[in-house]
Structure 1
Amino acid sequence: MSDSISIALRFALYVDLMLLFGVAFFGLYSLKGQERKSGAVLPFRSMLAGTAVLGALLSIASIVMMASAMSGESDFAELRPHLEMMMFETDVGLAGVVRIVALLTTALAVMLRAPGVSLWIAAFAGGIALSSLAWNGHGAMDEGSRRDWHFTVDILHLLVAGAWLGALVAFALMAKITALQTEARIRLLARAVSRFEVIGAVIVVVITVTGVVNYLFIVGPKLDEVFLSTYGILLFIKVVLFAGMLVLAALNRFHLGPLLERSLRDRQYTVAANALRRSVVVELVAAVVIVGLVAWLGTLSPEMDAQ
Structure 2
Amino acid sequence: MLLFGLAAFGLYSLRGPERTSGVVLHFRALLLTTALFGVLLSVAAMLCMAWAMSGVSDWSELLPHIEMMVLETDVGLSWSVRIAALSLAAIAVALNQRSPAASLWLITLSGAVALATLAWAGHGAMDEGVRRNWHFITDFLHLWAAGGWVGALAAFALLLRQAEQRLPVLARTLTGFETAGAVIVVVISVTGVVNYLFIVGPRVDGLLDSTYGQLLTLKVVLFAAMLVFAALNRFHLSPLLEQARQAGEHSVAVNALRRSMALELSVAVAILALVAWLGTLSPQMDS
TM-score range, shorter chain: over 0.9
Give the superposition deviation at 1:37. Answer: 1.2
Residue 74 of structure 2 corresponds to 91
Q: Counterparts of 1:116 and 1:170 in 2: how far apart (Å)?
A: 17
Residue from 189, 193, 211 that aligns with 1:208: 189
Note if 1:81 corresponds to 2:55: no
Q: Counterparts of 1:77 and 1:123 in 2: how far apart (Å)?
A: 38
Q: Confirm or deny: 8 A CA contact 1:231 1:300 kept in the other structure.
A: yes
Bigger CA drift: 130-139 or 32-41?
32-41
Matched residue of 1:235: which SS? helix
Residue 249 of structure 1 corresponds to 230
Give the superposition deviation at 1:76. Answer: 3.7
Q: Counterparts of 1:73 and 1:129 in 2: how far apart (Å)?
A: 29
Give the superposition deviation at 1:278. Answer: 1.1
Give the superposition deviation at 1:75. Answer: 2.9
Residue 206 of structure 2 corresponds to 225
Which amino acid is 1:87 matched to? V
Note if 1:148 corresponds to 2:133: yes
Which amino acid is 1:199 matched to? A
Q: Confirm or deny: 8 A CA contact 1:88 1:94 kept in the other structure.
A: yes
The two structures have a TM-score, normalised by structure 2, of 0.96
Q: Counterparts of 1:73 and 1:125 in 2: how far apart (Å)?
A: 34
Question: Which consecutive unaligned segments of at least 5 residues does structure 2 have?
Answer: none
Which amino acid is 2:204 matched to? L
Matched residue of 2:205: which SS? coil
Residue 38 of structure 1 corresponds to 21
Q: Counterparts of 1:191 and 1:38 in 2: how far apart (Å)?
A: 19
Which amino acid is 2:286 matched to? A
Q: Deviations over 1:122-167 (max 9, x none)?
A: 1110110011000000000000001000000011000000000010
What is the correspondence of 1:63-74 to structure 2 with a 5 Å cutoff? 63-74=46-57
Matched residue of 2:94: which SS? coil
Q: Counterparts of 2:19 and 2:235 in 1: how far apart (Å)?
A: 27
Matched residue of 1:302: which SS? coil
Which amino acid is 1:158 matched to? L
Give the superposition deviation at 1:111. Answer: 1.1
Give the superposition deviation at 1:264. Answer: 1.9
Which amino acid is 2:55 matched to? G
Residue 130 of structure 1 corresponds to 115
Q: Counterparts of 2:163 and 2:203 in 1: how far apart (Å)?
A: 49
Give the superposition deviation at 1:255. Answer: 1.1
Question: Which consecutive unaligned segments of at least 5 residues does structure 1 have?
Answer: 1-17
Give the fraction of aligned pairs with identical amino acids, expressed as a percent. 61
Which amino acid is 1:40 matched to? V
Q: Deviations over 1:262-303 (max 9, x none)?
A: 222211111111111111110000000000000000000021
Q: Confirm or deny: 8 A CA contact 1:226 1:302 kept in the other structure.
A: no
The two structures have a TM-score, normalised by structure 1, of 0.90
